[in-house]
Amino acid sequence: MTEVRSNATRIWLLHAAVIVLLLAGNFLLPEYHRGMFSRALVLATYAMGYNLLFGYTGLLSLGHAMFFAAGMYGAGLPVYHLGWDVPLVFATGIAAAGLLSLAVGVLALRTTGVAFMIVTMMFAQIFFLATLYFTTWTRGEEGLVLQPTTRAIEFAGNTISLSDPSTRYLVALTLFAIVLLVSLRLVKSSFGRTLVAIRENEERVRMLGYNVFATKLLAVVFSGLVCGAAGAAYGLLFGYVGSGFASSQYSILALLYVLLGGAATTLGPLVGTLFMFYVIDYTSGLTSAYLLLVGVVLIILILFFPKGLLGTIREKWLPWLP
């Protein structure tokens, strides 16, 4: 039992250390890299939401961009058109993603395997087309630019501007840290155990008395909420809301980050996102066709490293890694 205890301690220490290191990054990173990290932290949060469903529950969605974008539009549209406050629209963004994931989950979870992948891809495609179709409000591909004045929070007489680089980094980190700790808590809980068991053998879980459909639906909604929070934060922090974020490419990116970092590892999404950010940054001098790189990495991963970076490390050296 002492081994179990010390593992738990080790796990909390590791996650705390990661958060502290990232916090230090705000003061140590050069401006350019701090900007990169701000974006990567928000997208890593998105990937963590995806990981809950894909990594832990074993449901491979090809349409998560719709939840990210639902959060983004759910927050961005009321700011842009109605001038609502930042905290309020952050909530409406999350709510929009939650409702969408509930509706999509109820329908898509009637299918399994390949059909689930295609159905989620198609629902996301409909959402993407809708962002183009309702161009009066969304301005389609061109998108909406949220002015810095609309992206400020009045707090105790002070104005906190989300367009300030340091604030932006800290807000992104706060969101990331909260989601990281909540997911860690979740995957170590009874609910997390049930999700993993569903991934391993759904029929057996049903025969232990679980309502598998309801459990999976809960996982879809939870995943949708996290992705929506990331989408809302992305729009508010970087001041832009466009249909590109709803395109299939963003669904694939979530899959890529998670596969690369290691599916069903709590820190995998962060590792995968940062790794991919810097690979693309590094090669951007060589080719503008960065999607080529995405394609190559996807195939290499699926062929040779299906467990990803942290998944391989866990298998070989650190079996206690959550």
Partner 1 sequence: MAAVIPLIQTRALTRQFGGLKAVDNVDFNLESGKIHAIIGPNGAGKTTFVSLLSGRLLPDSGTILFDGQDITTMPAHKRVQVGIAYTFQITSVFANLSVYDNVALPVQRRLLQRGRVDPGALHQSVFEVLDRVGMADHAHSKAGSLSYGHQRLLEVAMGLALQPRLLILDEPTQGLSDGEIDTFIELVREIARDATVLLIEHNMQVVMALADRITVMNNGKILAEGTPSEIRANAAVQEAYLGGGDV
Partner 2 sequence: MAFGPYFLLATLEGLVTASILALTALGLSLVFGVMRVVNVAHGEFFMLGAVLAWAVSTAFAGHPAIGFSAALLVAPLVVGGAAFLSERLVLRRLDYNPEATIVATIGMLYIIQQLALTFYGADARPVQAPFNVRIQLPWFGYSGYKLFVIAAAIIVMLGTWLLLTRTKIGLIMRATQYDRETAQAFGIPVDRVYGGVFALGAMLAAVAAVLVVPTQQAHYLMGRDPLLLSFIVVIIGGLGSLRGTLVAALIVGLSDGIISVFFSPTLAKMLATALVALVLVFRPQGLFGVRTR
Q: What track of x and - describes contact with partner 1 for positions 151 through 190 (by CB under 8 A)?
A: ---------------------------------------x
Binding test (CB under 8 A) with partner 2, winner from 17, 126, 207, 214: 126
Stretch that binds partner 2, among 196-204, 232-240, 266-274, 288-296 (CB under 8 A): 288-296
**Taking a C-beta distance cutoff of 8 angstroms, is the pair 165, 31 a contact?**
yes
Taking residue 170's Cβ as centre, other Cβ atoms within 10 Å add up to 15
The rounded distance, in Å, linking the Cα atoms of 298 and 255 is: 9
Binding test (CB under 8 A) with partner 2, winner from 83, 87, 165, 295: 295
Taking residue 63's Cβ as centre, other Cβ atoms within 10 Å add up to 26
Rg value, the chain, Cα: 19
Taking residue 151's Cβ as centre, other Cβ atoms within 10 Å add up to 21
For the record, the structure tokens of 9 come out as 């301690």
Rank residues 144 and 195 by Cβ distance to partner 1 and give the closer one: 195
- DSSP structure class, residue 80: I
- Among partner 1, partner 2, none, the one that 83 touches (CB under a kind-dependent 5 to 8 A) is none
- Cα dihedral 97, 249, 44, 61 in deg (nearest 10): 60
Q: Give, as ranges, the residues between 59 and 98 that touch partner 1 (CB under 8 A).
A: none
Binding test (CB under 8 A) with partner 2, winner from 129, 207, 214, 318: 129
Residues near partner 2 (CB under 8 A) are 60, 62, 107-108, 110-111, 113-115, 117-119, 122-123, 125-126, 129-130, 132-133, 252, 255, 259, 287, 289, 291-292, 294-299, 302-303, 306
